[in-house]
Structure 1
Amino acid sequence: MKIKFFASLKDHFGDEMESDDFSTVNDLFIYLAKTKPDASDLLIKCRFAVNLAFVGNDSSLLDVSEVLVMPPSSGG
């Protein structure tokens, strides 16, 4: 699956990565937090979308083509 990062997450993870190693959103979250501990506080606030629909941490990533990881938006 393709995992895309947005806004300040790009500073930590780049634009995107490819992996099929995660069975749930929570598995992906744990991997990202362990890989970049300095991004953990930001990751906690992020929303995950699977195939363009927001999902919870227990959502399956099996047979998923794309995951979006989006921090909260701000600005005016």
Structure 2
Amino acid sequence: GTHADVQVIRTDLLSIGVKETRDLVRRAQLSPAVGRWQVIVMEDADRLTEGAGNVLLKAVEEPAPRTVWML
């Protein structure tokens, strides 16, 4: 099953771009829906473009309250 506060990010694309990463970071700023924490699991983080990596870096270094990133 799935949990409302767990997001698993997967891609079939060769790379993950800036737009997709900005959308993800924006969603991560929201408060957890059900539990006390939200967890974001990004599979294939090695596919981030350099620009997308820079966008994600700030979110990972300074996450929103009660947010855990797993790359």
TM-score normalised by L of structure 1: 0.27
| Higher strand fraction (1 or 2) | 1
TM-score normalised by L of structure 2: 0.28
